[in-house]
Amino acid sequence: MEALAVILTGVLGLGSGLGIIADRVVEGAIRQQIPKIEYLAVRVDNSPNYQLIQGKIDRVRLASRGIYFVPFLRIDTLELETDRVAIETQNSKLKLLEPLRAAVRVIVNQEDLNQALESEQLRPLFQGLKVDFSGFNADLGVEEIDIVNPKIHFLADNRLRLTATLKSRKAGGISPIEISAEITIEVLPNGNVKLRHVDLNLAGVKVPDMLISTLVRGANRLLDLQQLEAQGIYSRVLKFEFTEGKMQLIGFARLDRLP
């Protein structure tokens, strides 16, 4: 939706002065607001052209490769196509005259995601974490640890494997612990994404199902797309697929108002 808002801003600004829009000018407007894009093509369909002056667009299509909404994460593919768009300006702000519907397809490469996990921006998130190990060993307590070498592996059959090493910051603290988790993800009939099965191991020892169930419930609450509806955003995942080294998501969204 961020890319779509950028497109609409460029369309309105140009349409109010020209009545006809050049696709390449819209591309330039998008590139100015996104840190980096390796390839971008935009097509604005409108017939007749004077509809643009009235804030109406038949369809907007966007295809991009190597797009960076944030400097440290590369999105391999982003494709977006809207239905009819009807907008107006009020006090220099965009307003939707009718709900905006869009289909989106996103592909993320495993290699790009792992590079992001090692970036300077994300590395602090894995450092200085306080973990209570007493549930696994009564002789252990709370220790400050770093998560080292986190990796994500996309597997077949909608499975995801996470691996990392836990290292204590305390002299004489616990020895490094290898951690791994294998997660199976499914798309529900209502378009939500859900963690269906999780296996979590610490140093080769399986974590109790009771603890895993608590983590899974928390993760599924975060993944619940229905919580966006209060903001006027209705999203549904149509397809979520892991293959070797790639993740693909195809979805649909309806936006009742612009942020």
Mean of the pLDDT values across residues 77-90? 84
Cβ–Cβ < 8 Å for 136, 145: no
- State phi, psi for 139 to the nearest 5 degrees: -85, -10
Residue 52 pLDDT greater than 70, yes or no: no
Q: For residue 51, what pLDDT is reported?
A: 60
SS (H, E, C) 9-70: HHHHHHHHHHCCCCHHHHHHHHHHHCCEEEEEEEEEECCCHHHHHHCEECEEEEEEEEEEEE
> Picking from 39-53, 65-79, 122-136, 156-170, which range would have the lowest pLDDT averaged per residue?
39-53
Residue 38 pLDDT greater than 90, yes or no: yes
Closest CA to 104 of 119, 82, 72: 82
Confidence category of residue 138, pLDDT binned at 50, 70, 90: low
Q: For residue 53, what pLDDT is reported?
A: 56
Distance CA 94, CA 38 (A): 28
**H-assigned helices in the chain:** 2-18, 23-33, 110-117, 209-223
**Helix/strand/coil for 96:** strand
Query: Inter-axis angle of helices 23-33 and 2-18, to 10 degrees?
Result: 130
Half-sphere exposure of 158 (CA within 13 A, CB side): 14
- Residue-level length of the chain: 259
pTM (2 d.p.): 0.81
Confidence category of residue 141, pLDDT binned at 50, 70, 90: confident
Residue 11 pLDDT greater than 70, yes or no: no
The percentage of the chain sitting over the pLDDT mark of 70, rounded to a whole number, equals: 83
Residue 217 pLDDT greater than 50, yes or no: yes
Nearest 5 degrees, angle CA 213-CA 216-CA 222?
A: 150
Confidence category of residue 19, pLDDT binned at 50, 70, 90: very low
Does the CA dihedral 204-181-183-107 come out positive or negative? negative
